[in-house]
Copies of this chain bind each other. A is one copy, B any other.
Amino acid sequence: MMQAVQVARRLAPRFAARAADHDREGTFPADDFRDLREAGLFGLMVPRELGGLGATFGEYAAVATELARGNGATALVFNMHASVTGALGAVTEELAEALGMPNEALAARDRLLRAAADGSWYAVAMSERGAGARLSRLSTVYEPVDGGWRIKGSKTFCSGAGHADGYLVAARSAGDPSVVSQFLVPAGDGLAVEETWDSLGMRSTSSHDLHLDVTAPADRLLGGVEGLALVVAQLMPHWLVASYAAVYVGVARAAIDAAAEHLNARDLGGLPAVRARLGRADAAVAAADLVVAEAARRVDEAPGDAETNRWVWRAKLLAGTTAADVAASVLEAAGTAATRRGHPLERLYRDARCGSLHPATSDVCADWLGIAVLGGDPDRDGSAPRW
């Protein structure tokens, strides 16, 4: 599996070479995704028995960091696919039984994972305008119809919209609004992309709006039972929180590398202020990298444990703040010339700013961790709704 990291490391320079264009135009890095498919990385989180690479979360985090050294936006979209396949792959038979999942639901799950191993990838269509990612406020609704599930509604921030082979969609039952279910809706008719994504950073994630008026096949209800959505969200906080962290560590490291290359090319490495900035940046990123790896390792060993979750939140906090601080500091080390559009640092500075802003923001993370330090239950005692 270290092999997947090697593959990611090999792909990164290609991604980096295309990143400036995609950033400027706000285009989706379809070429990067072609490379990912050909390299077999869509099967990264798919169990080996279903044809995948069977990566652990720790291995995934390392892959994500390497991809992000090439293009953070590509890594972020890939993160969504890895989250979906990882969460699906993590449903053991015991868990399935405990959740009351029918047998055919596991079979349907297997089909989705095999398809991923064969080169399909999935996006996530969870957020809605006004509701954010909070499942408790969704307005997208579904109802059973002949041949499956009719789903109607609009999603925002759907990274990779228009490019994925399927979309993880959360919706509320038209019959019983207290029931939220999740579907893996295939790409095709009934889905319309509205190009709304035009952002400071991570511009090529194509996180556009997605309008749904579609019938999903019956077997695309995840878990095979309505109402499993909230359960999954609570079981898998690391997918909602931590995988971003690995990406932003990669972005931060890319910023240091770009600054060093820029400064060496101009023979400015002798300036003490420059060295001080790079040295402090290097230590900070190395630390964030370890924290992400530790969080990932614990997710593999003891998913959902209180101590595991603490590392997950630490990882989210540190990766986001470190990326933003490091990019700002090394940009200053590099100087005005590096602020020209097309220069890698110009893009990385904007990309890096976004890590702390993804929910949970750094302020929310700090609050969560502070409650834990004080012996409280951060999932209950926080001052603000978190999802």
Which residues of A line the B interface, CB within 8 A? 198-201, 256, 260, 263-264, 269, 271-284, 286-288, 290-291, 294, 310-311, 313-314, 317-318, 324, 328, 331-333, 335-336, 339-342, 346, 349-350, 353-354, 356-359, 361-376, 383-384
Cα distance A353–B366 when bound, in Å? 23
Q: Contact at B370–A200, with CB atoms within 8 Å? A: no
Q: Contact at B371–A357, with CB atoms within 8 Å? A: no
Q: Contact at A275–B371, with CB atoms within 8 Å? A: yes
Nearest CB of B to A267, in Å: 10
Interface of A is mostly: helix
Number of copies: 4
Q: Contact at A199–B340, with CB atoms within 8 Å? A: yes
Cα distance A282–B314 when bound, in Å? 8
**Which of these, B260, B311, B363, contacts A375 with CB under 8 Å?**
B260
Q: Contact at B332–A362, with CB atoms within 8 Å? A: yes
**Which of these, B275, B332, B335, B383, contacts A367 with CB under 8 Å?**
B275
Q: Contact at A278–B374, with CB atoms within 8 Å? A: yes
Q: What residues of chain B lie closer than 8 Å to A277, measured between beta carbons?
A: 363, 370
Q: What residues of chain B lie closer than 8 Å to A272, measured between beta carbons?
A: 272-273, 276, 367, 383
17 residue pairs bridging A and B, Cβ less than 8 Å apart? A198-B340, A198-B341, A200-B339, A200-B340, A200-B349, A200-B350, A260-B373, A272-B367, A276-B363, A276-B370, A282-B369, A284-B318, A287-B318, A332-B362, A335-B357, A335-B361, A336-B354
